Structure 1
Amino acid sequence: MTARTLAALVVAGVTLLVGGCASQPTMQGDLVIAKQGSFFVGGREVRSDKMSMVPTVTAAGTIVVDQMYVRYQVPPSAKRFPIVMVHGCCLTGKTWETTPDGRMGWDEFFLRKGYGTYVVDQAWRGRSAWNPAAINQVKAGAAAPDTLPTLFAAGQEPAWAIFRFGPEHGKTFPGMKFPLDAQAEFWKQMVPDWFNALPMPNPTVPSLGELARKLNGAVLMSHSQSGIYPFQAAALDTTGIAAIVSIEPSACPAVTSDLTPYTKMPILVLYGDYMELSPRWAPRLKLCREFVAAANARGGKAQLVVLPEIGIPGNSHMLMQDTNSLEIAEWLSKWLDGALRTGG
């Protein structure tokens, strides 16, 4: 690429074309990145004499756990506030990357929109290390089996309903837009989850606040299990949290809690379709509606949006991977631009 071509791309931006349907944007052109890299936030050292059960590896030693992995990309002339993207249960930062059927992920979309993107792996997930000592203690006979940490994995059959692909495994909701032809690739994203073995708040929570402060301000965008994390981070310290975008949160702050922190930044709670058809999700939507109303009654700038109510139907729990994911991202980028410009 010539210097003239590169300069033209930076000045003019990436051309926005319409592909597939009138409401589904497709971005084309070279992706221009000013800087990228990765680092960790948080972490603590732990020592054990049962770090290994492999004969050729010394058993005793010290490791670091509770750290949160962060991979970032920043475009030229980046907007003031970057977006920190936090995945949900049984997943990693892959959630925000290339979709199972090979389309652009939200990490790239928002990068092309001018936002720095910081994609994390929660503590004890993905590239954020976990502590094997408790398991090795039991294997060595030095601890009782009931001391084992609680670890789980979501099987494809129950996850089908949890992610609202349909009411039960193998059945789909009418018009549901998750790319089921590529579901084999989606299931490869699933990983074991240590959530129930970790202290509260999850170590990821203070790390999110630390990252927001390190960046001198950031949008915290969470999903599902991590939906509550930005709120928990704000309850600890609102410094650096420019906005909260909680996508399909499994919980919102209780209306009986101190809502003061949530009046200090614009907040969006976003849900997809088929909510009332899901015994798991309908009560969560109700409680989040109550939270938004209570926060606004105290002077907050919170908004709850259910996509079919604004004319975007068919979305599953994994709406950032659905076939209309870029349509949603385009809507969300406009919401962010407005909220960050006006403070809500």
Structure 2
Amino acid sequence: MNATTSSTSTPPDLVAPLLVSDIGSFHVGGRMISLTGMTPRVRVSTAGGAVHPIDPNGEVIVGQMYVQYVKLANPRSAHPLLLWHGGGMSGVNWETTPDGRPGWQMFFLRAGFDVFVSDAVERGRASWAPYPDVYAEAPYFRTAREAWEETFRFGPVASWHADPAQRHPHDGLRFPVARMEAFMNQFVPRWGGNDKLTQHAYDALIAQLDSSIVLTHSQGGNFGLNTALHAPDRIVAVISLEPSGAPDPEHCDARVLRGIPHLFLWGDYLEQHPFWVNSVPKVRRWYEALTAAGVDAQWIDLPAYGIIGNSHALMVDNNSDSIAEIVFDWMRNRKLVS
């Protein structure tokens, strides 16, 4: 069942070759700082190699974000699509699914968009900074139980087990549970106090582009929603897959977003997991502020449309292409792609 207001869109051709004009990458948002008072160390670069004295005092870059882009020879949209990942993850979420299917990067390239995939501050190829010298605390590492029972909603409380045969996913779950370990390989450490650095880097990326469509997942949602407030003249749409947070309408004026359509997309089992029971109302409050301000905002609850079994990992569930088609329809209905 189509979860958009129209079913006139033609899905992207998922087989035809792509004509690409450019593939590249860059970093954005970083700044130079000086480190002092740190203890000298020694390093061996390779087994049996020479010993190098290392002075960690001096200038380093912090707060940088990595951005990979693929630009088409003949894009069907005038606006690049920016894919922003969630907490404890990186841009690899968008590239290939854990069960080996093409991810949303390829789907939306085939749909006619130039696609920019980011590794946010502290993630993946964005690199780290020293802690506690720059980052104030040690990082968090996601456990399988947290992912399975809480954040990604693969199964109810007490359903995780290290032995795959003893794991008990939700009935009808669309996440490919046989590939859980492959998904866990994508987990990266995250720090709890870098929101300002991360927001600055995302805002810096938006400032480099004439216009953008921002598509976010989970923790990335709050950054995307705030970026639209910071640069309403440069963002033409915001698409939020299960954002874990949103701006506070008591402190942010949703009226500046008139003319920027917003889509909020939600999967299944939300009411069974306390993290999401506590998170969704805060996002709903921002959505209602948007609609009250006259913003074109749509809230799609997939189970209400008969699409059941989706986890928090909408872009890698076994119906991920169908979910991407819903997003594509929504964009095409708003004339963001031909």
- RMSD, aligned CA: 2.3
Q: Deviations over 1:153-209 (max 9, x none)?
A: 110011112200011323211100001111111000001102x132x43x2223323
Q: Distance in 1 between matches of 2:302 and 2:34?
A: 48
Aligned to 1:209: 203
Aligned to 2:34: 47
- Mapped pair 1:321 → 2:316: yes
Aligned to 1:144: none
The alpha-carbon distance between structure 1 residues 61 and 261, as it changes in their structure 2 partners (threshold 3 A), is: same
The one-letter code sitting in structure 2 at the alignment partner of 1:167 is: P
Aligned to 2:288: 293
Instruction: Give the CA deviation at 1:31.
Output: 2.9
Q: SS in structure 2 opposite 1:34?
A: strand
Among all aligned residue pairs of Structure 1 and Structure 2, give the percentage whose two residues are the same amino acid.
35
- Mapped pair 1:99 → 2:94: no
- Which runs of 5 or more residues in structure 1 are unaligned? 1-23, 138-146
Structure number with greater CO (CA < 8 Å, separation at least 6) is 2
TM normalised by structure 2 equals 0.85
Q: Distance in 2 between matches of 1:231 and 1:285?
A: 15
8 Å CA contact retained: 2:29, 2:205: no
- Aligned residue pairs, count: 307
8 Å CA contact retained: 2:131, 2:138: no
Of 227, 242, 262, the match for 2:257: 262
Q: Distance in 1 between matches of 2:57 and 2:202?
A: 31
8 Å CA contact retained: 2:153, 2:312: yes
8 Å CA contact retained: 1:295, 1:302: yes
- Mapped pair 1:192 → 2:189: yes
Instruction: Give the CA deviation at 1:52.
Output: 6.5
TM normalised by structure 1 equals 0.83
Q: Distance in 2 between matches of 1:183 and 1:54?
A: 39
The one-letter code sitting in structure 1 at the alignment partner of 2:132 is: A
Aligned to 1:121: 119
8 Å CA contact retained: 2:271, 2:277: yes
The one-letter code sitting in structure 1 at the alignment partner of 2:110 is: R
Q: Distance in 1 between matches of 2:131 and 2:152?
A: 33
More moved, 163-172 vs 311-320: 163-172
The one-letter code sitting in structure 2 at the alignment partner of 1:34 is: S
The one-letter code sitting in structure 2 at the alignment partner of 1:175 is: G
The one-letter code sitting in structure 2 at the alignment partner of 1:214 is: Q
The one-letter code sitting in structure 1 at the alignment partner of 2:329 is: K
Q: Distance in 1 between matches of 2:80 and 2:306?
A: 28
Q: Distance in 2 between matches of 1:301 and 1:126?
A: 34
Q: Deviations over 1:140-164 (max 9, x none)?
A: xxxxxxx951410110011112200
Of 291, 301, 305, the match for 1:310: 305
Aligned to 1:18: none
- Mapped pair 1:167 → 2:162: no
The one-letter code sitting in structure 1 at the alignment partner of 2:64 is: Q
